[in-house]
Every structure is written in C-alpha cells, then in structure tokens.
Structure 1
Amino acid sequence: MLKVGSHISSSKGYEAMGKQALKLGANTFAFFTRNPRGGSAKEIVPEDVKRYQMLWQEKGYGQIVAHAPYTLNACSDKPEVRRFAKETFSDDLERMEYIPGNYYNFHPGSHVGQGAEEGIRLIAKMLNECLKPKQTTVVLLETMAGKGSEIGRSFEELQKILEQVELSEKMGVCLDTCHVWDAGYDIAEDLEGVLEKFDKTLGMSRLKAIHINDSMNLQGSHKDRHARIGEGTIGLEAFVRIINHPALRELPFILETPNDDQGWTKEIALLREHFCDS
C-alpha cells in the first residue's frame, strides 16, 4: 500500500497526531518538533507516546517524518543563530528517541553571503557535534529550491555535506518534488534521468522520504511555492509516475500542499487511486 500522509499539528501530542492521521486516511505523517518559527518544544508525556505507538503498531504502519523548525540555520553568519541551531538540533534528536527508528528532516540552511563552501562546512560541523553513535533516528537533508543563498539546491551540494559527516550512516535525504523542480530538475519529463543523477551523486540508498508537492512555478525558477497535486506546473501525470516508480514506491510520501484537512483527505485518496498495488 502507498505510504502517504500530510503534516499534522503536534500541539496535542503523539496519540492525537496518530488519530488525526487516520482520519485523513494516512498511514504515515509529518510533524514539526516545535513551532515552525522556533521556540521551546512541547513537553513529551511518556504515556501519550506509548498510546501512539500501540495505535501505530496495531495498524502495522511504519516510519514518520519529523521536521525541524524553519528558523534552524546551521550555516548562518551570526554565531547566536548557529548556537540556536545546534541547541535545537541536539534537543530534537534526544526527543526523537522517545519514538525510535524514525526520520528527522531539516533544511540545510542559507550561507547568507559566506559562500556555499563555508556554508557546507558549517552544516557538517553542526552534524558532527550533534549526531550520536547510538541514536536510532536517521537525519534527512532536504533538497532545496535554491532561493537566495540556500544550501542544497543541487544533489552535489548535499553530497558535499555528507562526505564531511563522520557518522554518515545516520544520514539520508528527503526529496521535495516542488523544490527539485524549482531547482531545475525535470521530474515531469525526465524522472529516470533525475533519479539516475541522484544515484550517481548520492546513491539511492540515501533517499528515505519524499515531500510530494506540485509547484506554482516554472522549472528552474528557484522560488519554492507549493501547489496542490495536479494543480501546478509539474502535473498529475508526473506524480502518478513518481509514486509508482520502483525506486520510490516504498518510501513515505508527505504532502505539504496548501490545504486543509478536507483537502489533504482528497489528495491522499487521489494518490491512492493512481497507485498500482501489484
């Protein structure tokens, strides 16, 4: 069965997230570890976590994808911003061990004029300071659209980060369809070519999750504006190929489209309708 879900509010705890995902028809989901704009995280209640785990195991569902706050910028030119990123990142990884074996996704960051090489060095430095040998969480670098000074606009930039990470076995990649399209990768007409390039640069074993979003922009626009599935410039036919591709079909697909619960329920059903189980 297709593993697909959307972002779920984490304000009411893990059990509530799991139940909300089920209402949408989802069998995976994403959530922010704290307010997307930063700040302190909600206290974890062990009993709530147990109830969620029992619910999820009863359904036989698999991994979910946590998302770091957008304000986390490991390669800022400001020491206090980098310090916030490291402290938040470390705290989130400790919290993730309450739900072992899942994914923690983050935007690599923006070098704000320092240059991509220095930005990559700073991101790898934070990862080397935060990753632990015994952690069960796999940290995912997200592919980015390339706005401004964003790091991660190409597969090569992500690989340059990974090759500097000491515990690289704890690392993976989350491919955002809107972002890679806006970055210039033609996933609509040349999906095979894009995946071949990903494999040659990063290795397909690194790809752990997909943010499945259409785009409001033309390919290569570097703007990052998500659209509902089939209502953007990528188009429904491309997404049918993506969810059914042999190298992708077993991955968790997370919707980040501009929608509400009713809209996500329809999108989840739409994608399931076009998924070939055989």
Structure 2
Amino acid sequence: MLIGCHLSSSQGFLAMGTTALSIGANVFQFFTRNPRGGAAKPFDARDAAALVDLMRENGFGPILAHAPYTLNPCAADEGLRQYARDVMADDLWRMDHFPGAMYNFHPGSHVKQGTERGIELIVEHLNAILRPDLKTVVLLETMAGKGSEVGRNFEELRAIIDRVELSDKVGVCLDTCHVHDGGYDIVNRLDWVLEQFDKVIGLDRLRAIHLNDSKNPLASHKDRHEVIGAGFIGLEALVRVVNHPALKALPFYLETPNELPGYAAEIALMKSRSV
C-alpha cells in the first residue's frame, strides 16, 4: 500500500523523505511554497538528488506537490492569472527533477464570471504552461463546490480536460472529503461513484487520492477535513476506498488535521486494514 501525508517543505527535500520514513510513509505531499503565497526557496539540486536516491532505496511511490491555495487560474483579474501561470511554470520546472512526480492544484474560483468562463480560463492557463517535454503529471483536484469553485463535479473536470491541448499531461486527484461534501455518496454508493467517474472522466485519469474524513454531512459543500474515523465518512467507508480494486494501487495522501504522531497512527491504521 502506498500511503503518506502532507509534510512541511521548509525542512528540505531529503529531510521530508527521512520524516516520511520515520512515520511509516512511503509517499508524501508538500506545498511547493507558502500555501498562502510568496516566493519559493531557491532550488537545491543536490538536496533534490539526495531525496531521489532515498526514495529509490526505500521503494517510495510518487511524491505529490500541491500548488499554493492563493493561485486562481480563472480569476477575473489578468494580473492574478499571470501570477498563477508564473508560479505553476516555476513549480513544474522544479518537480521535473523528481521521476514520476505529480503536481496537484485546485482548478480555481470563477468569482461571478460563471462556470463556463471559469473553465475557459483554466484551459487557457494549462495550455500556456504545459509543454511536450514535461515529465510531471498535473492533477486537477475534485472540489467540494463551495462558493464559485470550478470542479464541483466530474463533468466540470472533464470539460477542462477535453479542451487541454496536451491532455496526456493531465490527470485527476480525488479528495474523499471534497467528493463527499460535493454530494457523491462514497459511504453507501462507492461503486456507483467510481462508475460515474469512469463514465465521465475515465479511471485511467485518476492518479492520486487525498484520503480525508469530513466534518460535515453529505452534500454540505463545506470542505472541512476531519481525522480518519471521526467524521461523517467514517473509518469503514475509507477502508473500503483504500481496498477498492479500482483504487488500491493508487497512492493515498492524508490531509487530515494532524501533527506527525497523528499521521503515523493513521498510516499504521490504514495499512493494518489494507488487503
């Protein structure tokens, strides 16, 4: 089973890998820079290479970088859209130093422009930054549907993918809290939800899972993560997620409200329930 959690990138690449090993993880996610915005630290190629060696020696799955929350590729303001393009282009250059890496981002909020205009702008954004020699797969994250978020259902994500010129560089990260809060009943109808995903997007596009419980009931459109087993999704439903034949080979990344000891406990728990 490939499972890990979100780690702080402030400690450096190799240190993140060492931390992951210390809590029983064999994958991990990190923010490329401050999640609330700002410049990234200078890239340390030697530190990156040391992490690659550590991952190879210890059988790690793919690392997942997460774009800052402040990025909005479909903002109404052109300056904000340019900022998103610049940051993501720089982040993808960095991530190409890690074999098999993935880069996850929230599609954005259309801020009263309408969903269709939001989708158009996200497509423009991706067409501007994706390049044929890119090694990193860019993942659109499923969203809970709060406010004017784009990506609140599978159809909106498919509409983006269909218009991206280099769509082979694009995949999807399914967040269990988000889809639950968005109205997809993964507790009682997991098979049906995955059938819908396959019908609309295609399971071959699904590359990663954010494994989270939810503080809110089904279809609340709230996006509030909870520790495993303490929310409205519950432990047994999440065990079914990690063991589902269509999902079990994917990497799982915890984003639960935890410190390292809590993550270690959740990783051990989910591994103990993996079949």
* Matching residue of 1:27: 26
Once superposed, which parts of structure 1, at least 4 consecutive aligned residues long, lie more than 3 Å away? none
State the shift of 1:236 in Å.
0.7
Q: Structure 1 residue 101: deviation in Å?
A: 2.1
Give the match for residue 155 of structure 1. 154
Aligned to 1:12: 11
Separation in 1, partners of 2:98, 2:144: 30
Under a length normalisation based on structure 1, what TM-score does the superposition of the two structures give? 0.98
**CA positional deviation for 1:12:** 2.1
Distance between the aligned counterparts of 1:99 and 1:35, measured in 2? 20
Residues 1:264 and 2:269 are matched in the alignment: no
* Residue 253 of structure 2 corresponds to residue 254 of structure 1: yes
In 2: Cα distance, 1:100 partner to 1:77 partner: 35
Q: Please, which moves more after superposition, 54-63 or 151-160?
A: 54-63
What is the distance in 2 between the residues matched to 1:266 and 1:12? 22
Residue 91 (structure 1) aligned with residue 90 (structure 2): yes
Which residue of structure 2 aligns with residue 60 of structure 1?
59
2:233 maps to amino acid: I
Offset, 1:64: 1.0
Q: Which residue of 2 aligns with 1:41?
A: 40
Q: How many residues align?
A: 275
CA deviations on 1:57-91 (whole Å, 9 max, x unpaired) are 00121211100000010001111111111111111
Please tell me the residue identity of whatever aligns with 1:258.
Answer: P
SS of the residue corresponding to residue 66 of structure 1 reads: strand
CA RMSD of aligned residues (A): 0.6
Unpaired segments ≥5 residues, structure 2: none
Aligned residue type for 1:23:
S
Aligned residues with identical type, % of pairs: 59
Structure 2 counterpart of 1:139? 138
- What SS does structure 2 have at the residue aligned with 1:105? strand
Per-residue CA deviations over 1:15-35 (Å, capped at 9, x if unaligned) read 001001111110000000100
CA–CA separation in structure 2 for the residues paired with 1:100 and 1:35? 23
Gapped runs of 5+ residues in structure 1?
none
Shift of 1:181: 0.2
| Residue type of the alignment partner of 2:262 | G
1:229 is aligned to: 228
Q: Give CA deviations for 1:240-260 in whole Å, capped at 9, x if unaligned.
A: 110000110011100000010
Q: Which stretch of the first structure deviates more once superposed, 8-17 or 171-180?
A: 8-17
Q: C-alpha separation between the residues in 1 aligned to 2:215 and 2:91?
A: 32
Do the aligned residues in 2 keep the contact of 1:13 with 1:44 (CA within 8 Å)?
no
